[in-house]
Amino acid sequence: MVELKTAAELDAMRDAGRVVGTILDTVRQVADVHVSLRELDEAARAVLREAGAGSPFLNYRPSFAATPFPAVICTSVNDAIVHGIPDDYRLRDGDLLGVDCGAVLDGWAGDAAISFVVGTPQPADSLLIDTAEQALAAGIAAAVVGARIGDISHAIGTIARAAGYGIMEDFGGHGIGRQMHEDPGVPNEGRPGRGMRLRHGMTFAIEPMLIAGGRDKYRTAADGWTLLTTDGSRAAHVEHTIAVTDDGPRILTVP
Ligand code: MG
Ligand code: MG
């Protein structure tokens, strides 16, 4: 069952998304060489507190996880694709950092992610991140009334494959609303014209996860949460929560 949101509900989701966008902006500003991942989580917690918002990440425990998630953001460094736990690791020059964040405000969820390089970027990392952002933009652009989920997937996958990158298997975008993770899934690769037809008031988190080495597989780190590339290559993850509307796609997770 996919809930179609009213105009007021979309505005409420925009308010939740604004908190998410503000957190990601804040973390990007705080992240620097020698700053610890835990300090980034603390900065994110402060924004949530200030906004009176809750975290859908904190204590989240999906079926694949052995322990509840202990933080309000995921911080995934270099060969970590997603779900990295903010710990005492201090960022180094050239690290590729993915930050994933959620917020719940007045009963509505937002979910978004950014990837960026701390300090001086290597050209290969900049290209990987740029491509992930292009794939996200293409996926969002495909999220129009009358199109289908497969059109979003196809738009993302086409850009990722053309660049020779791997597309992380098993994980992708999702419906979002009162819960962070709702039906339907929004795969990062697929066939155009297939899947659920998009209607005004549907809301999705669209999130390409690209792997530089070109393989789709991942492995789970000893902490039970962090998902790593199998070849040690770097990965980029970017995400927005968007609404399908009669006026076109509306990005909800910006400040
Ligand atoms: Mg996310
Ligand atoms: Mg998500």
Q: Other C-beta atoms within 10 Å of 186: how many?
A: 23
Question: Quick one: pLDDT at residue 148?
Answer: 98
Question: Quick one: pLDDT at residue 106?
Answer: 98
Separation of CA 175 and ligand 2 centre (Å): 9
Question: Quick one: pLDDT at residue 1?
Answer: 77
What residues contact residue 158 under an 8 Å CB cut-off, 6+ apart?
138
Could you read off the pLDDT of 44-100 as tens digits, one per residue?
999 999 999 999 999 999 888 889 999 999 999 999 999 999 999 999 999 999 999
| 77/74 Cα distance (integer angstroms) | 10
Separation of CA 101 and ligand 2 centre (Å): 8
Separation of CA 239 and ligand 2 centre (Å): 7
Question: Quick one: pLDDT at residue 142?
Answer: 98
Separation of CA 180 and ligand 1 centre (Å): 9
Which ligand is the nearest neighbour of the Cα of 180?
A: 2
Separation of CA 101 and ligand 1 centre (Å): 6
Q: Render the burial of 122-142: b for 16+ CB within 10 Å, e for the rest.
A: eeebeebbebbbbbbbbbbeb
pTM beyond cutoff 0.85: yes
Separation of CA 112 and ligand 2 centre (Å): 6
Q: How many CA atoms lie within 13 A of 84 on its CB side?
A: 28
Separation of CA 111 and ligand 2 centre (Å): 5
Question: Quick one: pLDDT at residue 189?
Answer: 98
List the strands of the sheet with 235-237, edge to edge: 166-167, 209-211, 235-237
| 190/150 Cα distance (integer angstroms) | 5
Separation of CA 174 and ligand 2 centre (Å): 6
Domain ranges of the chain: 7-251
Hey, what are 108's tokens?
């509505």
Separation of CA 224 and ligand 2 centre (Å): 19
Separation of CA 122 and ligand 2 centre (Å): 27
Separation of CA 104 and ligand 2 centre (Å): 13
The segments of the chain whose pLDDT lies below 70 read none
Q: Which CATH number fits domain 7-251: 3.40.1410.10, 3.90.230.10, 3.50.30.30, 1.25.40.420?
A: 3.90.230.10
Separation of CA 222 and ligand 1 centre (Å): 21
Question: Quick one: pLDDT at residue 66?
Answer: 86
Separation of CA 204 and ligand 1 centre (Å): 11
Question: Quick one: pLDDT at residue 44?
Answer: 98
